[in-house]
Amino acid sequence: MNSLDSKKEYREGIISVLGCNIWWGIMPIYWQWLKPIDSWVIIFYRIFLVAVVCAIAAWKVHAKEEIMEVLRNRKLVLRIIAAGIMITINWSIYIWAVNSDHIIQTSIGYYIEPLVVCLFGVFLFREKLNRYKAIALVMGFIGVVAVVAYFKEMPTIALGVAVTFSIYTAMKKGLKLPPIMSLLFETLFLAPFALMVIFYIEAKGIGGLSAGGFKYFLLMFCGLFTAFPLVLFANAANKISMFVLGLSEYISPTIALFLSIFYFKEDFAPVQLIAFVIIWIGLIFFTIGEYKEYKNGSIE
């Protein structure tokens, strides 16, 4: 590949990673637009519609034999089902939190998620912990303790979002599946159950249709809106370094944080600002550690 093609590919990767993270950052607006549809109704529709969108995309992009090959591997299928259950729990916490006006807590969760992933890497996969990442972990812990000390309760939403996504990440480690195919099988086995629930709640008059035609029309896009940024992310992953990809993870929770304060007008206690500052300082150290590993060739 010549330098011109390389620059073009890198530019496309940057545009894709910015696109997907900006999309994820403004998604709380979409979920709030779906009110008064209950969060649990949205979750079942999301499971089913993501499976439908990914099935269509996988059928167009991948060969039929490639798709069937996954189904023949029983261990892989069980692992994907487990990952699908975990990401569904993560989605459930996130959507409920957004529609219950706890967007700030979801932002905290996605800020500390890279630190939890790092912790999992150390204990589960024997990864080395440099001093910068160690400082970042300590700062993240201090930030959580500050919130606990002030409110006298655990930030369960933030920790729930961070831990479930980190477990999901650990489950996905080593899975050599294209993102669309992976998301297809993660939702495919839950889709029939989700569809049965959808039929039941709509028959009872407590589903999405009860909110009105326009709200139901918006709901029909939740599968596409979930899958599309993942396609952008997958495109970026193939064209930019893991360091830049990881650094971009802080864009979406930052956008969501500003939306929660200035658009949704959530209460923002001083201790939460202090906790964010502590966590941000930790993330600066974390980024320095990642950059040093990247420069040394540990991260490609």
DSSP code at position 208: G
**Rg, C-alpha atoms of the chain:** 20
pLDDT for the residue 289:
84
pLDDT at residue 263 tops 70: yes
Give the model confidence (pLDDT) of 89-134 as tens digits.
999 999 999 999 999 999 989 888 888 888 888 888 887 778 888 8
Residue 241 to residue 283: CA distance in whole angstroms: 18
pLDDT at residue 171 tops 60: yes
When mean pLDDT is compared across 62-66, 191-195, 244-248, the lowest value belongs to 244-248
Does residue 50 contact residue 226 with C-beta atoms inside 8 Å? yes
pLDDT for the residue 23:
96
Q: Which of 209, 186, 180, 174 is nearest to 78 (CA)?
A: 186
Most confident range, picked from 21-25, 127-131, 233-237? 21-25
DSSP code at position 259: I
At 218, the pLDDT band (50, 70, 90 cuts) reads: very high
Contacts of 40 (CB under 8 A, 6+ apart): 92, 96
pLDDT for the residue 297:
64
Burial of 217 (0-12, 13-18, 19+ CB in 10 A): exposed
Estimate to the nearest angstrom the gap between the alpha carbon of 171 and the chain centroid. 14
CA distances from 24 to 63, 136, 216, 224 (A): 29, 24, 21, 13
Residue 116 to residue 162: CA distance in whole angstroms: 7
3-state SS, residue 33: helix
At 2, the pLDDT band (50, 70, 90 cuts) reads: low
So where are the chain's domains? 15-295
Handedness of CA 27, 30, 32, 35 (dihedral sign): negative
